[in-house]
Chain A
């Protein structure tokens, strides 16, 4: 479904040229749960951003359903993110002024789709937040916030869910719950990529790759 071919990513940090990725080859199939591990600064998040079409590689090809997105114009990348990609972040990034319902429905605003209550309710039930829909994010626990963020990532029915350290701010109990949720999603056919420092969780994933020095090691 997604294939990375010889991806390189360079960027400048002040006067220094950083080679974040140095020729990454990686493919992700539908329904696969992939864990990416590696030390800080190894290029995990950069890889995730390229997978999510948020960032463009310096060299190499990103094939999304066979279509090369490396040179796509911004408007088409936006469309791709809306329709096929879901994002989950370590810091959740729920909007404080919106209810859980509105936070989950937020991507629908940008994809110009109607926020149907039944769909949001179904997603909330799936992540166990059906009783919290009218609450503000500040009233949720960390685990609940991340579950709301996952529901938000799923609201556009994406083909792939990209989770950047989804359990990074959670205790072990909540981490297990989030992992179980991600696993059930992949079992239902959703390609799921999870960056994590938690080796125990990574070991339970269907596949784990390690990034070290800008290269992927199986």
Chain B
């Protein structure tokens, strides 16, 4: 360790509480910065994986908001519109369609239990293709009266495979399986065969959307154009568009978060400057002595700047460590407040992001240290020694 660094470190240790508090201020800022940047990466990757898992190429939905579609595709948000019953016939009749599966998502009030169930009607034969990442305790429903429960629903209702479940006050359904915890909104749904769902809603041929897989993805544009021309009142949203739509929402949230983080970093930089400036004023006589025994202005400047460097770097590293250790808590919080969050790890450790965050705060710390260091280097040794 260089003598300057050692001296700077010892100087900081003379006021441990002040130094630790200043360092923690930096750590908090860097931790949040790292989390926001890592969250963005994890979110995008998780989203891509989740979309790929659906095994679908596009969705046919009633004309409307693309964000609604995105939410529907990924986690069954409720769209208060149904597709015309003839749409399914048009879709299946279109050349190049490999798989077309209707999806019905709706809210179903149950006056007896005083609850509203979120139901997700789907052709159970394609469920494993749409949700390949699910772990199911029990089995996928095979009969019309069998259902699958999301993890939270099963926990809340204290149900196991083989138990009866009543919804909408209209039917006693058999729980054939329970979906393992996904950490997403999938956990809150009751999954039924599409026909059962349609019957419960009194809409025998209704669908909120039709998930489509094509035989040749390179012909997707041709197929969607043909469908749009043939069927009025529908909207076709490809998985790429869904991803863009959700990514745009996430990007807006990220921009806001980053703005807040930058303000926090600015505040911590002012904290560093204040802390070091106080230390300089307290050590005026000592700096005068150092000038007398041979320190140049640059030597003094360097010592003070190295103090800010130590604070910034240690704060940066501690911040990264805290955010890694607390990433599960941060994820839980984000999941509780965001309408859509992909399953899987949202905050993934990326050494490049970590190094970038530390480098950023290092530069900010250096900038914050320049003024106190200049101030210290300009101390007149004669005046300082006189006190």
Q: Residues on A close to B: CB < 8 A? A: 45, 49, 52, 54-55, 74-75, 78, 81-82, 86-87, 89, 91, 93, 95-98, 102, 106-107, 109-111, 115, 152-153, 156, 164
Residue contact B14 to A81, C-beta cutoff 8 Å = no
A97: which B residues are within 8 A, CB to CB?
10-11, 13-14
Query: Hey, which chain B residues are within 8 Å of A55, CB to CB?
Result: 382
The reply to whether B10 and A81 contact each other, CB–CB distance below 8 Å, is no
Q: Is B297 an interface residue (CB 8 A)?
A: yes
Interfacial chain B residues near A82, Cβ < 8 Å = 293-294
Given known A52-B292, A98-B10, A156-B294, contact A110–B382 (CB-CB < 8 A): no
> A-B contact count, CB below 8 Å?
70
Check A93/B285 contact, CB under 8 A, given A52-B292, A54-B291, A110-B295: yes
Q: Is B331 an interface residue (CB 8 A)?
A: no
Query: For the complex, what is the distance from the CA of A164 to the CA of B291, rounded to whole Å?
Result: 16
Top 9 A-B pairs, shortest CB-CB distance: A82-B294, A97-B10, A93-B289, A110-B294, A109-B3, A107-B293, A87-B292, A110-B295, A97-B14
Within 8 Å of chain A (Cβ to Cβ): is B386? Answer: yes
Inter-subunit contact B296/A75 (CB<8 Å): yes
Chain A nearest Cβ from B281, distance in angstroms = 16
Give the number of residues in B that approach A within 8 Å (Cβ atoms): 26
Q: Which residue of B lies closest to A96 (CB)?
A: B14
Question: Chain B at the A interface: mostly helix, strand, loop or mixed?
Answer: helix
Residues of A contacting B385 with CB < 8 Å? Answer: 49, 54, 89, 93, 164
Other A-B pairs, 11, CB within 8 Å; known A74-B296, A97-B10: A82-B294, A89-B289, A91-B285, A97-B14, A106-B290, A107-B293, A109-B299, A110-B293, A110-B299, A111-B294, A115-B3
Q: Which residue of B lies closest to A99 (CB)?
A: B10
Interface digits, B47-67 against A, CB 8 Å rule (1 contact, 0 not)?
000000000000000000000
Residues of B close to A49: CB separation below 8 A: 382, 385
CB-based contact B296/A54 at 8 Å: no
Whether B262 is near chain A, meaning CB under 8 Å from some CB there, is no
Q: Please give me the residue from chain A that is nearest to B289 by CB atom.
A: A93
**B45 CB-CB contact with A under 8 Å:** no
- Closest residue of chain B to A107 (Cβ to Cβ) is B293
